[in-house]
Structure 1
Amino acid sequence: MSILTFKGGVHPYDGKELSKDVAVRKILPEGELVFPVSQHIGAPAKPVVEVGERVLKGQLIAGADGFVSANIHSSVSGTVKKIEKRLVPNGSKVLSIIIENDNLYEEYNYEPNNEPWSKDTIRKAVKDCGVVGLGGACFPTHVKLTPKDDNSIDYVIVNAAECEPYITSDYRRLVEQPSEVIEGLKIVLKLFENAKGVIAVENNKPDVIENLKKLTEKEDKISVAELKTKYPQGSERHIIYAVTKRKINSSMLPADAGCIVDNVDTIYNIYRAVKFNKPLTERIVTVSGDGINSPCNLEVPFGTSHAQLVKEAGGMDENVEKIISGGPMMGQAMFSLEVPVIKGSSALLAFKQDEISRATMTNCLNCGKCAMVCPEGLICAKLAHAADANDMEAFVKMHGMECIECGTCNYNCPANRNITQSVRTMKRKVQAARRKG
C-alpha cells in the first residue's frame, strides 16, 4: 500500500525520541483530587454526590445532562470534601467535585457485559462509562457512534497518527495493548455492518505498523493504513481525506462522508466499557520536553494534580520558561501546575526556552508561506488582515470558518505573525453573531 497523505502541512522537530521507548507506568494520586464537571464538548455534567459522601473508584459522581454530555466517575475511593469552582488547564475556573483520597482504591462493582452485544448494549455501555474522544476534542463518543443512518457508514478509522510533536501516549498504547485496540475496533464495527475498519498510523512508527499488520492479517474487515509523517496528519478532516479521498468542511460531520473517526485511546476505552463496564477514569499522559528531567508516559487517574506529574518525571529544570498542556502546536500554555489531569489531558510539556516570546514580530511580508502549508488551502495572511480589521464579511467570504486552527501558518511565517490567534478570535465573533441572529 502506498503512503497516504494530504496537500500542505509542516514537519516540525517531533521530539518523540525523548519518551517513546519509556513504558507506561501507573501512578497513584497524592492528596485531594479535583473533578471538573465540564471535561467534554457539550453540556456540563450534573453532580450526583453530596459533600461528606464516601465514594468508590469508578462510581458515578456527575451525570450527563443531555444527549451531548458525558458522565464523570471518581478515579479513587474517598470522601467528597467540596463542590466548588476550581482552575483547569486552560486557565478558566469550572465547577468541580473535590474528593479526598483514602488510598484504599475500593472499586465500585460493575458487572461485565456478556456477549453477544446488541447495538443498544454497545452504545449504552459507552455512554454509561463516560467515554469521550481522547484525541483532544473530548466529544462524547456515544453521540459520534449514533449517526442518522448506520448503513451509510463505510469506514471506521482509528486515528493513530499522533502527529503532534513530543506526544507518545498513543504510540505506547499500540506498543503495549495493540490487541485490545483491535478488539475495540471490532466492537465499533458491530454497529456498522457496511463499514471497514482502518487503523491509520504515521510512518514514523514502523514497528507499530508491522505488528498491527501481523495482528490483523486474518481480519477481512480491518486494514492498516500507512500515513506520511507530517503535521496535522491527525486532523479529522485530513485523516479522512488521506484514507478515503473524501472531503468534509466545517458544515459537515465525518458521518456525512460515511466515516467514523476515533482516537486510539478512545477505541481502547470503548473496549473496556463494552466488555467490562469499566468507566473512563484514567489515561496515558506524556510528560516530556527538554525541561523535564526524565521524560515518560504515565497512566494517570483523573483529578491528579499536574504538579505530581512533574514530580513523577524526576522534576523540572529550574530554567524552564514555558509549560504546555497538550502538544506544542495546538496545546495551551499553563501558568500553574496546580490544576487537575482531565479527560483531554494528553501531555504536559516543559521547555527551557519560550521561542515564541523571544521571536520578533514584523509586518507581513506577503510571501505566501502561510498559504503554502495551510492544509485547508486558505490564504491565511489575508484572513488575519480581515480579522485584525474586524471585517467579518470579508473574513467569511474568504472561507475563514474553514480554518482548523492547527497553527501551521504561524509555524511557517518568517515574520512571526500571530495568524492563528487572529483567525481564531474572528471565528468566535462570527459564531457569536450567528447565534444571535
Structure 2
Amino acid sequence: MKPRFTFHGGVHPPRHKTESNGTPIRDAGLPPQLVVPLNQSIGNPARPCVAVGERVLAHQRIADADGNVSAAVHAPASGRVLAIEERPFAHPSGLPALSIVIEPDGRDDSVDPVPVDWRQADSRTLREQLRDMGVVGLGGAVFPTALKLSDGGLETLVINGAECEPYISCDDRLMRERAADIVLGVGLLAERMQAKETLIGIEDDKPEAIAALTAACAGTGIEVVSVPTRYPGGGAKQLIRVLTGKEVPHGVRSTDFGVQCFNVATAYTVWRALVLGLPVVSRIVTVTGAVARAGNVEARIGTPADWLVGQAGPTPDSRGIIMGGPMMGFTLPAPAAGITKATNCLIARSEALFPPRPPALPCIRCGACSEVCPASLQPMELYWHARSKQFGRAQEYALFDCIECGACSYVCPSQIPLVDYYRYAKDEIWAAERDRKAAELARTRFDFRNYRAARDKEEKAARLAARAAAAAASAPAVAAETAPAPAATLDADKQAAIQAAMARAAARKAAGAGKDPAAPAATPMSDADKKAAIEAAMARAAARKAAKAAEATPPPSESDAP
C-alpha cells in the first residue's frame, strides 16, 4: 500500500450511507417529460441544434458545445421536442435556464454509436470526441474532461473514489458493480497521459468497493489505496495531499505539480465515450432521505427531480429536496427541475432528519472552525470581514482558498452559517470585478471614440490644406483672367456716359419744345451733334458689355488668395 499523508482539519459527521448502498443500481424508468438543461458544464451553455416539433433519437446530439469550456448535450431518449425555452434549473439561485423539453415515445430508438481508435487518434481528435460526447466531471464540478486530457509527462494520475459526503453512495455502488469498466477507463487515461503511477483513492468505509477495484486492477499496475474516512477527504486537493503529499495552492493547477485527478464515474464515461462511442445521457443518482425505498438509480439526464423522489416513495413528512449532500448541497428552489450531470444525490428532507437550524448567536472566538478547516484558514476572521463588507480584507485572509465544504459551520457552537457569509463575499467580489471590467471596456470604447474623432478631424484638416495649396497654385492665372479694367478706361466710359446723357436730355428738350405751339421752332441737329450721340450710344453699349462680363466672373475666395 502507498504511504499515506494527511490534511489539516476535517470532521466526522454521521455517514447515513447504509440506507442507500445496500441494494443494486436499478433503472429509474422513463418520466412523461424530460427537461434537459443546456447548462451541463461549468462553462458556456450548449447551443440547440434541433427544432420544436422535431423527432429526436436516443443519444442524438441536440445541442452543440459553445466554445472550449463547454460540452455537447444529447437526447436521453427518443421522442418529440415539445419546447426549447426557459425552465426551472437545478441551481441555488433558482434562476431558469434554457432547456429542451422532450416527450419520450417509449421506443428508445437510438442513433448509431461513433467510437474512435483512441490508441491511434491524436490528442485533438480525442478532445473533440470527449467534448462532442458531453463528457464532464461527474464528481460535481462538471468541468469539461477534454480540457484535462494532457499529452503526457504526468507524474501521478489520481482517481477519486473517496465519496466523503454523507448520504451519497452512487460512486460506491458504481465501483462495486462496474469495476471492470472503470478500470478500462482508468487504464485508457493513464496510457494516453503517460502517467508514471496511477492511484485510486477510496475511503476505508467502502470495503466492498475496495475489494472489487483491487480485483479488477490485478496485473494492470494501477494501485488501489484505502484512505481514512474523514470529511472532506474526497476533495481533489485533499485527496492529492493524502495520496502524494503535495499541496496544491489556490489558483494553481495540479498539473503544475505533475498530478491530475478524475472521478471514478468520469473515468467510466470516458471509456464509454471513446471505446463504445456512447454520449453521456444518464448517470447514477442516490435517492435517499425521507423515502420508503432509498437506493441508487440510473436516471436519464433531464428527469424531473420530484419525479425521481416520487418513485422512491416519499414519506408524509418529507418537505423539499436537497440536491447533493447535507454539507455542500442545497435545497432545490424548483423540485420539478430536470436533473443534470452534476446531480449525484437527491435527499428528501424532513424535520426529523434536518431539524431547523437554531438562531445564530454572537461569535465567541472559540477557534473550533480553524481547527477543522481543511484549507488551514481563519474562518472567524473571514466571517467578520465578510459581515462588515470589508471584502479586500477578506481576500487578504485567502477567502478564495475556501472550498465551501461546510466543516466550519458544522462545528460552530454559535450556529453561525459561516459558509453563507463566504459565498456572499465571493459573489460581491465577483460582481465588483465584473463591473470593473465593464467600466474598463466602456472607458476603452470611449477613448477609442475620441481618438477616432480626433483622427477624422486631422484628416479633414489635411484635405482642406491640400485643397487650399492647389487653389493657391492656380490663383495667378485666375486673377489675370478676372482682373478689372484699367482706371483710365473706366473714366472715359463714365465721361462718355455723361455726355450721352446730356445729349439725350437736350434731345428730349428740343422734342418737347417742338410740340409746344408757343415754343420757338426746333433747330435741326447738326452733324456734330449726331456724331456725339452715336459715340455716346456706342460708349453705353461698351459699358454694359463690360458690366455683364464682370458679373459673370465670380470674385476670388479667401482660400484662393496668395
TM-score grouping bracket, smaller chain normalisation: over 0.9
Instruction: Please identify which structure carries the higher strand content.
Output: 1
Query: Does structure 1 residue 104 correspond to structure 2 residue 107?
Result: yes
| AA partner of residue 405 (structure 2) | C
Tell me the CA shift for residue 261 of structure 1.
0.9
Tell me the CA shift for residue 4 of structure 1.
4.6
1:329: which partner in 2? 327
CA distance in 2 between partners of 1:388 and 1:16 (Å)? 35
1:15: which partner in 2? 16
CA distance in 2 between partners of 1:212 and 1:38 (Å)? 32
The structure-2 alpha-carbon separation of the partners of 1:110 and 1:392, relative to structure 1 and needing over 3 Å to count, comes to same
1:47: which partner in 2? 48
Deviation readout 1:73-116 (Å, 9 max, x if unpaired): 00000111111000012222001111111111000112333464
The answer to whether the Cα contact below 8 Å between 1:361 and 1:415 also exists between their aligned partners in 2 is: yes
Instruction: Tell me the matched-pair count.
Output: 431
| AA partner of residue 85 (structure 2) | E
Which of 1 and 2 has greater Rg?
2
The answer to whether the Cα contact below 8 Å between 2:89 and 2:334 also exists between their aligned partners in 1 is: no
Deviates more, 1:108-117 or 1:56-65: 108-117
The answer to whether the Cα contact below 8 Å between 1:204 and 1:229 also exists between their aligned partners in 2 is: yes
1:410: which partner in 2? 409
The structure-2 alpha-carbon separation of the partners of 1:395 and 1:358, relative to structure 1 and needing over 3 Å to count, comes to closer
2:190: which partner in 1? 189
1:168: which partner in 2? 169
| AA partner of residue 107 (structure 2) | L
2:285 is paired with a residue whose SS is strand
1:427: which partner in 2? 426
CA distance in 1 between partners of 2:119 and 2:381 (Å)? 55
The structure-2 alpha-carbon separation of the partners of 1:111 and 1:427, relative to structure 1 and needing over 3 Å to count, comes to closer
Percentage of identical aligned residues? 35
Tell me the CA shift for residue 212 of structure 1.
2.0
Deviates more, 1:118-127 or 1:17-26: 118-127
2:34 is paired with a residue whose SS is strand
1:390: which partner in 2? 389
1:237 is paired with a residue whose SS is helix
2:318 is paired with a residue whose SS is coil
CA distance in 1 between partners of 2:153 and 2:396 (Å)? 32
| AA partner of residue 242 (structure 2) | A
- Please list, as runs of the form range in 1=range in 2, the aligned pairs for 1:275-354 lying within 5 A after superposition: 275-289=275-289, 291-313=290-312, 315-353=313-351
1:224 is paired with a residue whose SS is strand
Deviates more, 1:257-266 or 1:8-17: 257-266
2:18 is paired with a residue whose SS is helix
2:547: which partner in 1? none
The structure-2 alpha-carbon separation of the partners of 1:214 and 1:327, relative to structure 1 and needing over 3 Å to count, comes to same
CA distance in 2 between partners of 1:95 and 1:179 (Å)? 37
Tell me the CA shift for residue 301 of structure 1.
0.7
Tell me the CA shift for residue 255 of structure 1.
1.5
The answer to whether the Cα contact below 8 Å between 1:81 and 1:100 also exists between their aligned partners in 2 is: yes
Deviation readout 1:37-64 (Å, 9 max, x if unpaired): 1121011100000111110000000000
| AA partner of residue 56 (structure 1) | L
The answer to whether the Cα contact below 8 Å between 1:5 and 1:233 also exists between their aligned partners in 2 is: no
The structure-2 alpha-carbon separation of the partners of 1:246 and 1:396, relative to structure 1 and needing over 3 Å to count, comes to same
CA distance in 1 between partners of 2:241 and 2:188 (Å)? 24
Q: Can you give the 5+ residue segments of structure 2 that lack an aligned partner in the other structure?
A: 438-562
Query: Does structure 1 residue 126 correspond to structure 2 residue 130?
Result: yes
| AA partner of residue 132 (structure 1) | V
* Moved >6 Å (runs of 4+): none
2:223 is paired with a residue whose SS is strand
CA distance in 2 between partners of 1:417 and 1:115 (Å)? 51
Tell me the CA shift for residue 432 of structure 1.
3.1
1:238: which partner in 2? 238
Deviation readout 1:237-267 (Å, 9 max, x if unpaired): 1111111111112211221221111111111
1:364: which partner in 2? 363
Tell me the CA shift for residue 133 of structure 1.
0.5
Q: Can you give the 5+ residue segments of structure 1 that lack an aligned partner in the other structure?
A: none
2:296 is paired with a residue whose SS is strand
- Please list, as runs of the form range in 1=range in 2, the aligned pairs for 1:130-279 lying within 5 A after superposition: 130-146=134-150, 150-220=151-221, 222-279=222-279
| AA partner of residue 228 (structure 1) | P
The structure-2 alpha-carbon separation of the partners of 1:38 and 1:115, relative to structure 1 and needing over 3 Å to count, comes to closer
1:394 is paired with a residue whose SS is helix
The structure-2 alpha-carbon separation of the partners of 1:156 and 1:119, relative to structure 1 and needing over 3 Å to count, comes to farther
The answer to whether the Cα contact below 8 Å between 1:4 and 1:228 also exists between their aligned partners in 2 is: no
| AA partner of residue 383 (structure 2) | A
Specify which structure has the bigger relative contact order, considering alpha-carbon pairs within 8 angstroms and separated by 6 or more residues: 1
Deviates more, 1:266-275 or 1:31-40: 31-40
Tell me the CA shift for residue 118 of structure 1.
2.8
| AA partner of residue 308 (structure 2) | L
The answer to whether the Cα contact below 8 Å between 1:80 and 1:100 also exists between their aligned partners in 2 is: yes
Tell me the CA shift for residue 69 of structure 1.
0.4
| AA partner of residue 338 (structure 1) | A
1:336 is paired with a residue whose SS is coil
Tell me the CA shift for residue 269 of structure 1.
0.3
CA distance in 2 between partners of 1:152 and 1:114 (Å)? 21
2:441: which partner in 1? none
The structure-2 alpha-carbon separation of the partners of 1:51 and 1:357, relative to structure 1 and needing over 3 Å to count, comes to same
Tell me the CA shift for residue 3 of structure 1.
4.9
CA distance in 2 between partners of 1:59 and 1:28 (Å)? 19
CA distance in 2 between partners of 1:180 and 1:336 (Å)? 35
1:16 is paired with a residue whose SS is coil
CA distance in 2 between partners of 1:322 and 1:86 (Å)? 19
CA distance in 2 between partners of 1:368 and 1:26 (Å)? 47
The answer to whether the Cα contact below 8 Å between 2:17 and 2:168 also exists between their aligned partners in 1 is: yes
CA distance in 2 between partners of 1:117 and 1:311 (Å)? 46
TM-score norm. by structure 1 comes to 0.95
| AA partner of residue 270 (structure 2) | I
Tell me the CA shift for residue 230 of structure 1.
1.0
Tell me the CA shift for residue 168 of structure 1.
0.6
| AA partner of residue 232 (structure 1) | P
2:88: which partner in 1? 87
| AA partner of residue 421 (structure 2) | S
Tell me the CA shift for residue 28 of structure 1.
2.2
- Please list, as runs of the form range in 1=range in 2, the aligned pairs for 1:24-35 lying within 5 A after superposition: 24-35=25-36
1:98 is paired with a residue whose SS is strand
Tell me the CA shift for residue 210 of structure 1.
2.6
Instruction: Please identify which structure carries the higher helix content.
Output: 2
| AA partner of residue 162 (structure 2) | A
